[in-house]
Structure 1
């Protein structure tokens, strides 16, 4: 049985090597990007209202994690994505989605444990009880299991075919009003 354990920055930082191991197994990034990713994660833990969920087995082995925080001006992802949405959809849409948002930065499950509902539990758990009016995240803009999961949880596309500055991969920026309305028929209305 997989259990979830919530942690703030003080519980997240000591587990950073474990987190990077799960991230590496799930995403298979180039090795030369791991130090940078670890620094990004370390920085995220300093953001307002940071919370992490660890998915672990009965013996305590961590097999997945997810974390998010309150998005605000001055944070790189927040600034880049909000500006792009404003350019594509207008200031009102950008303010509606990013004015009071939970930004889900990472959701990863070790490949040996994928397909068991852990990702769904992590996303739902991160969103549960949050004071923000929306949740937003970025994911590869491909027909992946993650894209399917986010749609089933009520996330809608805010932007597709988005390329981050200095990058080359296409991402979808997705969002949902909070609280989640998991598996609700149809897409939720924009805030």
Structure 2
């Protein structure tokens, strides 16, 4: 598949069941999701915001929200998880990547609302992101994260990501997944 052609299967919403039995919808992010993203980030605990943004982010700025929801589904991809049947919709997780200029690697991130962690949602969102990256011919995904994020370390190990210390910052680690391996 050409890296310029989005995978139609990945452009649809899917439903998944979490460990606790809750059904969630996972779908591509849209520009109209800016308010969902604002509420989601604002409601993250300070620790979760720190783990995601590697620094102190309080209430997200309008500029940040526009950047996060400006997804072209080619060079920048994002999938959000919504609680099934909630009105208004409630975002409980997001996965995203941004393609490097080489077109061969992309930096990715996943964040789950505090009360929805440890239910398998992070793995589901990451699987969808990996599927999207492979469909676009991306060879490697990587993530720069806090070395103290033990939950992520366990998930990454379980999913086959390689972990190494960040040579520029000893408080961070870099996880890498080779997407060309079968």
Between the aligned partners of 2:58 and 2:105, the Cα distance in structure 1 is 27
Structure 1, unpaired ranges of 5+? 74-98, 164-168, 182-191
User: Post-superposition shift, 1:113?
Assistant: 1.1
- Counterpart of 1:56 (choices 77, 82, 90) is 82
TM-score (norm 2): 0.66
Moved more, 61-70 or 36-45: 36-45
Between the aligned partners of 1:38 and 1:149, the Cα distance in structure 2 is 31
Between the aligned partners of 1:173 and 1:32, the Cα distance in structure 2 is 20
How many matched pairs? 150
Between the aligned partners of 2:43 and 2:159, the Cα distance in structure 1 is 23
Which residue of the partner structure matches residue 100 of structure 2?
71
Q: Alpha carbons of 1:155 and 1:68: their partners in 2 closer, same or farther (altered >3 Å)?
A: same
Structure 2, unpaired ranges of 5+? 1-21
Q: Alpha carbons of 1:42 and 1:24: their partners in 2 closer, same or farther (altered >3 Å)?
A: farther
Once superposed, what is the RMSD of the aligned Cα atoms?
A: 3.2
Q: Alpha carbons of 1:7 and 1:46: their partners in 2 closer, same or farther (altered >3 Å)?
A: closer
TM-score (norm 1): 0.63
Cα deviation, 1:136-180, whole Å, max 9, x if unaligned, reads: 1111112611111112111112434642xxxxx711011111168
Q: Alpha carbons of 1:24 and 1:142: their partners in 2 closer, same or farther (altered >3 Å)?
A: closer
- Counterpart of 1:5 (choices 26, 33, 36) is 26
